[in-house]
Amino acid sequence: MTDLPSPPSPAVVAKGLVKIYGDRRAVDAIDFQVPDGVCFGFLGPNGAGKTTTMRMLYGRLRRDSGRLEVLGLDPDRSRREVRERLGVVTQANDLDQDLNVLENLVVFAGHFGLRGREARERARELLEFFDLGGRADSNIRDLSGGLQRRLLIARSLMHDPGLLVLDEPTTGLDPQARILVWQRIAELRQRGVTVVLTTHYMEEAARLCEEVVVMDQGRIVERGTPRELILRHAGEQVVEVRWPLGTPAPPTGPEVRRIDLLGDRLLLFADNPVAALGLFRGRVDSAATIVRPATLEDVFIYLTGRPLEEGE
């Protein structure tokens, strides 16, 4: 007899997922699949439908049509079973202001059936993991935004969920706090936790996510690994030159894949930056010229920063 390991089933499968508010299609027939054990990112500007999609994952919003499976279950039909296996951090800071730090974790664990010493030990462990060990008895009000965010993530992990849903985990945090949260998420990833997150920080997605989708106006407009998206839409290198407003249209040529005008800066996407700059010899201030590797940010601005074609 051979024991063939069955391929791990995906954590989330969505097909033709739709959510309608009034006459607006907040999520407009999207398909995606989150493989087990990866960090999967939803990128997009505000109002793109990312949060609506997250809320459908844990059954907070009922979908209007399409198929959705979270850990093999339909969140609308098996809401409780899905929530038992899911850790969710919403955008809102919904910590319980009437309870202290430790109590927030213990009470939340109670909602998942975890009680007593087991819950307290788990809470202490997670407080240590998130560098909150000394704050167990603190009031929520006395915690900075970064600490509260870490506590929210700790709270979502109390019942050891198979899938973690993070809706904009670092929005509003200062850079140090953000990096700390990133480190923790990366560590959770190494422990095998599947993560779905939304963000509009491209650096966050590039650092944490193996796969991303870019949403705009309820649709998925692009998908792949961050690296794939960069190579597909931006190439290896970007040359930024100063291009004062009112200057006539820049020259083009085969040396440049694409040119974006962002305010008074011109972005030249080129695999060979020296050749691209050749086009501009004598026309730009070389002291204000930068050559840098292309980032996901460049892709994002390209994909979502221009008006979408009507009737598309």
Partner 1 sequence: MVASLARSASIWRREALVWRHIWRTSILLNFGQPLMWLVAFGFALGSYISLGRPGSYLAFVAPGLLGITAMNIVTFDTMFGTWVKLHEWGVYEAVSTTPVSPSEIVVGTFLWESTRALMYGGVFMLTMLLLGLLHSPWAVLLPVLLATVGPLFAAPAIAWAIVTGQSFNNLFYYTELVISPMFFFSGAFFPVDRLPQYLLLPIWITPLYHVVQIGRGLALGQVSGWLWVDAAYLLIVIAVIAPISIRLLNRFLTT
Q: Can you give the binding site for partner 1, defined by CB under 8 A?
A: 58-62, 79-80, 83-84, 86, 88, 90, 92-99, 103, 107-108, 110-113, 156
Torsion over CA: 210, 184, 156, 176 (sign):
negative
Rounded CA-CA distance 8/34 in Å is 11
Nearer to partner 1, 48 or 88 (CB): 88
Nearer to partner 1, 59 or 273 (CB): 59
Q: How far is the CB of 189 from partner 1 (least distance, A)?
A: 21
- Tokens 């095998």 locate to 192
Nearer to partner 1, 101 or 259 (CB): 101
Q: How far is the CB of 9 from partner 1 (least distance, A)?
A: 22
Nearer to partner 1, 55 or 178 (CB): 55
Phi and psi at 282, nearest 5°, equal 80, -10
Q: How far is the CB of 104 from partner 1 (least distance, A)?
A: 9
Q: How far is the CB of 87 from partner 1 (least distance, A)?
A: 8
Rounded CA-CA distance 296/204 in Å is 10
Rounded CA-CA distance 271/234 in Å is 9
Q: How far is the CB of 16 from partner 1 (least distance, A)?
A: 20
- Tokens 């951090």 locate to 89
Q: How far is the CB of 178 from partner 1 (least distance, A)?
A: 22
Nearer to partner 1, 113 or 254 (CB): 113
Neighbours of 28 (CB within 10 A): 17
Rounded CA-CA distance 69/57 in Å is 8
**What is 225-241 written as a DSSP string?**
-HHHHHHHHT-SEEEEE
Helix (H, G, I), strand (E, B) or coil at 21: strand
Antiparallel, parallel or unpaired: β 163-167 and 86-89: parallel
Rounded CA-CA distance 212/226 in Å is 7
Report the greatest alpha carbon distance in the chain: 75
Nearer to partner 1, 86 or 212 (CB): 86
Q: How far is the CB of 111 from partner 1 (least distance, A)?
A: 4
Q: How far is the CB of 208 from partner 1 (least distance, A)?
A: 21
Nearer to partner 1, 79 or 223 (CB): 79
The 3 state secondary structure assigned to 180-194 is: HHHHHHHHHHHCCCE
Nearer to partner 1, 58 or 302 (CB): 58
Phi and psi at 133, nearest 5°, equal -50, -40
